[in-house]
Amino acid sequence: MRLTASASTLGALLAVSPAVAADCLQEQAIYGDADAAYELRFEPVGSASAATSNHFKIKVGKTGLVLDGIVMQSGDPVRANGMIMNNCPEGDVTGDDIAACTVWQGVIYSIGADGKVGSLPQEGMEAAPQILLPDFGPAIRNSSIWGTATVAPWDALTFKGCGQ
């Protein structure tokens, strides 16, 4: 039996195909963990002179909890160092204040379609197919949000779509 498809059928199939990271900029990328319990959504930094290279929000499924994330390029060699925070105070705060509201911090890596590990792309660059936040799951279990969050996320998050 031979199957044929019209141009309109082919167009419809392509329109519903899964999003591809190569078609999205990093500041619009949306990622999820393997259990669909966490969604990480990048957003524009908003200033070329900002000390941060990326901003993101993490929705903790079934809780209404939204965590704030930032990335700063630092170190030698330069790497994407991220922080995920919950209800940090604003304004003039101390290091202790920031430590108390920090849920996770560490280097954020990208994982390419070829499996190679690299640095997280900055704004304006093609989105990574996967990102890796080492020890993210254990950090959630040991943080102040555990109890509200009842599922520890995987450390690898996969590209799910492209936001606005």
Residue 132 has pLDDT above 50, yes or no: yes
Q: For the segment 81-95, what is each residue's pLDDT rounded down to a tens digit?
A: 999 999 999 888 899
Q: Is residue 10 part of a domain?
A: no
100: tokens are: 């108390």
Structural domain boundaries enclosing 148: 24-162
- pTM metric for this prediction: 0.83
Q: Is residue 144 part of a domain?
A: yes
**Cα 120 to chain centroid, rounded:** 10
Count up the domains in the chain and report the number: 1
**Least confident range of 7-11, 119-123, 126-130:** 7-11
Task: Reduce the secondary structure of 101-120 to three states and give it as a string.
Answer: HEEEEEECEEECCCCCEEEC
User: Domain for residue 2, yes or no?
Assistant: no
105: Cα within 13 Å, side-chain hemisphere: 12
Question: Is 30 part of a structural domain of the chain?
Answer: yes
Q: Of all helices (H) and strands (E), which one includes residue 138?
A: helix 136-141
Domain presence at residue 64: yes
Residue 72 pLDDT: 92
Q: What is the pLDDT of residues 100-122, one digit of tens each?
A: 999 999 999 999 999 999 999 98
In a domain, 135, yes or no: yes
Residue 113: CB partners within 8 Å, gap ≥ 6? 21, 129
Lowest-pLDDT range of 5-19, 42-56, 117-131: 5-19
Residue 9 lies in a domain: no
What count of Cα atoms within 13 Å lies in the side-chain half-sphere of residue 58?
25
Q: pLDDT by residue (tens digit) across 22-64?
A: 789 999 999 999 999 999 999 998 776 678 889 999 999 999 9
| 112 domain-assigned | yes
* 42/59 Cα distance (integer angstroms): 11
DSSP 43: E
Q: What's the rounded Cα separation, in Å, for the pair 131 and 8?
A: 35
